[in-house]
Structure 1
Amino acid sequence: MGSSRAYPVFRTDDLAEAYRRARLLCAWMKPLDPEMWLVAQAHTVEEARALAALLPTGLFEPSYDWDRDVWFTGTELPGDDRELAAELPLTVDADVAPGPVEQAFVRALGSGAARMRWRGEWSPAIPSWSQDPTNQRVELDINEDHPDGRHTVYVHFRCDDEAGAAHLAAAIGGSVLGPVRVGR
């Protein structure tokens, strides 16, 4: 996807509210992809099984052992709980069609970090906004370690656009909460 410019526009400890605000921002975008991106860490067998049931084609990798060339799809996770526990924590990465999977994903999460990302083109076009749809998206980071709240909503642009970020933040009752960062 390349690098974007990401602005934090809403932060809270209430995951349902953070998700609601992220979806409100998605209404300001014309979707460009038929899929969205989900990533989450599973720290328990129960979390891994719940995420595998939801994301059967998702790629599950050991989170902290990059030297091992081991990965599973959700349908290929070890069937024995002890074998699965030995692989934890696992990071799952999946592209999925937005819709019902989103709320099920939020419910399946435990305490591990997670991210939801929707890609689109900001609409209606406002002259101060970056007109190139590359790297325009809404992102919800879940279970972050931040003193002002664990869940943060970001808006992304191709180039720096604090005015556009402030406009979108105001539309959901938020504000630009910090400096722009290079997006992921």
Structure 2
Amino acid sequence: MSNSYAQPVLRTTDLAEGLRIVERLLAIADLRGLEIDYEAVVPSADVLASMLELLPHAKWFAEGNSGGSSAKGDDPSAHLPVRLRALGRPPETVGPFLDLVGDSPATVRWDFSGWPEAPEVGLGAGGERGAFVTLCVNVRDLELEEPAADHTVFVHVKEVEAERAPWLAAQVGLTVIGDLEMAPY
């Protein structure tokens, strides 16, 4: 399994604008097999309970030094804040998840079958492992380490198809605004 490479294409304080750009990118993607992956730093027991209800069987681990985790069968509310991760969820969970996030750092990643051909940059259709869009909420980076008062949209491509990222940005009237970087998981 290889990692995708991600490049930011939008930074905004307007979450709705970020979602509109995501929707425009998804409109040109091959959405067969569409799944949503989530990651969030959850600070409170009430938000945690709501997230676990929305995303049953989500994995988590303690952000501090307590060492608590879902793998150990620990009670997550005893180890707050926790980093929660849920993979392969249906698209209808996006709105409720974003409603729960509040000011916490989080990512929503749309995982799908591929990108379209980009003949202007010499690329055929792009396949899996390089076909994602991530919305970073209240954070500037994919690792949830740089909290921010704004939100960032990243397009993911294969490293050997780096030219696809600026091409994708141009398809929705944007340009890339940062470097191409290896994405986590």
TM-score by length of 1: 0.80
Partner of 1:29, secondary structure, is: coil
Residue type of the alignment partner of 1:71? S
| Contact preservation (8 Å) 2:138, 2:150 | yes
Q: Which moved more, 1:13-22 or 1:100-109?
A: 13-22
State the partner residue of 2:131.
Answer: 136
Q: 1:105 aligns with which of 97, 104, 108?
A: 97
Separation in 2 of the partners of 1:35 and 1:153? 17
* TM-fit CA distance, 1:171: 2.8
Change (3 A) 1:130 1:41: farther
Q: Give the aligned partner of residue 22 of structure 1.
A: 22
Partner residue of 2:165? 165
Instruction: State the AA in 2 paired with 1:58.
Output: A
CA contact (8 A) 1:4 1:182 kept: yes
Matches within 5 A, 1:65-76: 65=65, 68=67, 70-71=69-70
Give % identity: 27
Number of equivalent positions: 175
Q: Which amino acid aligns with 1:165?
A: A
Cα pair distance change 1:72/1:47, threshold 3 Å: farther
| In 1, Cα distance between equivalents of 2:71 and 2:111 | 26
Q: Residue 143 of structure 2 aligns with which residue?
A: none
Counterpart of 1:138, as a letter, is: V
- What is the CA deviation profile of residues 12-58 of structure 1, one whole-angstrom value per residue up to 9, with x for unaligned ones? 01112112211221122113534221111111122112211211221
What's the Cα RMSD here?
2.8
In the TM superposition, residue 136 of structure 1 has moved relative to its aligned partner by 1.8
Residues 34 and 110 in structure 2, CA contact (< 8 A), matched pair in contact too: no
Contact 1:39 1:114 (8 Å CA) reproduced? yes
Structure 1 unaligned regions, length at least 5: none
CA displacement 1:69-101 (0-9 Å, x = unmatched) = 53279xx885xxxx82x3100111112433221
Of 131-140 and 149-158, the range deviating more from structure 2: 131-140
1:64 is paired with a residue whose SS is coil
* Bigger relative CO (Cα 8 Å, ≥ 6 apart): 1
* Counterparts of 2:90 and 2:60, CA distance in 1: 20
Deviates more, 1:39-48 or 1:138-147: 138-147
Quick check: 163-172 or 100-109, which moved more? Answer: 163-172
- Check if 1:122 corresponds to 2:115: yes
